[in-house]
Amino acid sequence: MRPLARLAAASLAVVLSAGFVQSTASASDSVSSPAASVAPSEDPTDPPAEPTDPPADPTDPPADPTDPPVVERAPAPQNLAVELSETTAIISFTQPDSVEPITNYQYAFSIRGPWADVEPAAPTGPVTINDLVSGAPYEIWIRPLTESGAGYKSKRLAFRMPTAEPTTPGKPVRFEIAGEDVNNGVKVKPGDALKIRNVPSGGYVTVTDKKNPDRQIEVLETNKTHMFTTEALPPSGRLYVTVYDVQGNAVSQVNFFTVKAEKSFSVDVWPKDKNLGAGVPLVVTFGIRITDKAAVERQLKVTSDKDFGEASWFWIDEDGTSKAVFRPRNYWPGKATVRLDANLTTVEGAEGYWGPKVSSTFGIGDQVVLRVNLRKHTMKYTINGETTRTFAISGGMAGWETESGTKILTAHIPDKRLYNPDPEEGWDVTVNWAIRVNDNGEYIHDAPWNYSIGYANLSHGCTNMKVSDMQWLFRNTKFGDVAEYNGSPVKMGTDDYLAGYWNYKWNEWKKGSALYKKR
């Protein structure tokens, strides 16, 4: 524990907050040395002793023998004394003679409280206070507890903790990388850890980068006595390492350089456009296969000017590279600007490969969602949460079923030729307006030859619409808008371009994060 952290807590029998420590005891207060016994002092500022029950009024009527007996408050503990040793105070006292059995004691570091129960209960005393601060003054009051409530408080007990003697290791502090001593001004390769040996008992180590103060280099205490180690050191840094003893005094320091990384990996971020649909995921593609995905993912920070709720990353390895895909549990909110920031200069994504610093943004337009019901032969057009139009449609017939699931509008093509060379069930038509929705050849398009639009599913898998309706839809949708299809036994897969990312169950998607098990 660092010395400053030692000021944070003091517990009676377990933990007492150091925030309860009152003002420094005056010269007239008793001050103890280790293992010394200190009696409480009379304090002229103490309030008058709390009165006992008032005498009976002679005019009062005689007590009713059926009334329950009145139980007096437990008397105050007397003759408080303290024995001190390093960070512990043991308080003894004369047990008060109480009508009711004493079940525990309470303590306070102020005459007005707050009061806290001793844990574990100490109904007969003495009570022990641990983790007190070396050299700090303390004041304490205690009072008994019975089943009827709190008793009278004691007089103040004032004391000061003894000052601990500084501890130093038997050997000088040693700094080491890959078995070699590290001295001031040397240059070392990135990727290795720094070991710090012979750290004083209770001491700690800090590492700062003078070239990049925003870098945070973690230092961990090992299982070996008096030894700390850093994480893998980043490239292009000037590192200052300082060792402190238990009192917070600097006892040793070294500064050295890490040279520029010999190898680095590239990062490509998609998309970068504005006015995209709410179903566009954020895709980060790395130029190599990332082996330390958790370290990289920790640095990928996604923010937006609109709340997008719960979200997660999903990792995919393919063709010697890695890809991290980010999407909300639901779709992006309308009119949102999404930003990715990642400082990968401190991250060794794979052995010997370090990353760049990345910043990228993209914009979402109106949130447009098409909700298609293949049983009812309808499509509802919803913009920013409000359904404004309902269209008649016709889906795929038996054997050519349109897929259910979430689809993403990816291509708007006028005068689109739709062609299938099959001699028995083939077709060759040109439509006025077509929107591609998946990789299986499904489009939303006009079909003036289909007289069952709104009544039956008679297409070869595409979503057929009337010409005027399709023209309006073509002009009022964009790349990345969402189409939710229901009512078909055939389901969308997770390997479809863009749309596939939205067809994972949410728990499955979260498991694709490199940090999933550590949440």
Dist CA 156 CA 158 (whole Å) = 6
Q: What's the distance, CA 32 to chain centroid?
A: 45
Per the CB < 8 A criterion, the answer to whether 191 and 352 are in contact is yes
Nearest to 267 by CA among 324, 339, 307: 324
3-state SS class at 142: strand
Dist CA 386 CA 403 (whole Å) = 25
pLDDT, position 316: 97
Measured from the Cβ of residue 328, the count of other Cβ atoms closer than 10 Å reads 20
pLDDT digits (tens, 9 = 90+) for 75-98: 999 998 988 887 888 889 999 998
| Candidate CATH numbers 2.40.440.10, 1.20.900.10, 3.40.50.2000, 1.10.10.10; the one for domain 368-488 | 2.40.440.10
Cβ burial 195-208 (10 Å sphere, 16+ → b, else e): bbbbbbeebbbebb
pLDDT, position 378: 98
For 457, half-sphere exposure in the C-beta direction (CA atoms, 13 angstrom radius) is 22
Dist CA 9 CA 17 (whole Å) = 4
| 174-258 topology per CATH | Immunoglobulin-like (2.60.40)
Nearest to 190 by CA among 41, 384, 349, 414: 349
Q: Which residues of the chain have pLDDT under 50?
A: 1-61, 63, 168-169
pTM: 0.62
User: Phi, psi at residue 508, to the nearest 5°?
Assistant: -65, -40
Return the structure tokens found at 239.
């590192």
pLDDT digits (tens, 9 = 90+) for 119-164: 888 888 888 877 778 878 888 889 999 998 998 999 988 888 887 6
User: Phi, psi at residue 350, to the nearest 5°?
Assistant: -145, 165
> Does an H or E element contain 38, and which?
strand 37-38
**Cα–Cα–Cα angle for 442, 443, 444, rounded to 5 degrees:** 135
Indicate the domain borders of the chain.
1-41+75-165, 174-258, 263-363, 368-488
- Identify the sign of the CA torsion 249, 254, 257, 263: negative
Return the structure tokens found at 267.
């990062």
pLDDT, position 182: 94
Per the CB < 8 A criterion, the answer to whether 23 and 109 are in contact is no
3-state SS class at 141: strand
Return the structure tokens found at 340.
């990715």
| 263-363 topology per CATH | Immunoglobulin-like (2.60.40)
Give Cβ neighbours of residue 454 (< 8 Å, ≥ 6 apart): 377, 378, 392, 393, 394
> Does an H or E element contain 117, and which?
strand 116-117
DSSP state of 468: H
Q: Does domain 1-41+75-165 have CATH number 2.60.40.10?
A: yes
Dist CA 173 CA 275 (whole Å) = 59
pLDDT, position 12: 31
Residue labelled with tokens 């003091």:
10
Dist CA 380 CA 476 (whole Å) = 13
Strands 357-363 and 386-392: unpaired
Per the CB < 8 A criterion, the answer to whether 465 and 434 are in contact is no
Give Cβ neighbours of residue 429 (< 8 Å, ≥ 6 apart): 417, 418, 449
Dist CA 246 CA 204 (whole Å) = 8
pLDDT, position 466: 98
Dist CA 284 CA 105 (whole Å) = 60
Same fold yes or no, 174-258 and 368-488: no
Which DSSP string do the residues of 429-463 spell out, in sequence order? Answer: EEEEEEEE-STTS-EEEE-TT-TTTTT---BSSSE
**Cα–Cα–Cα angle for 216, 219, 220, rounded to 5 degrees:** 140
Where are any strands of DSSP class E within 263-320?
Answer: 263-264, 267-270, 282-286, 301-304, 311-318
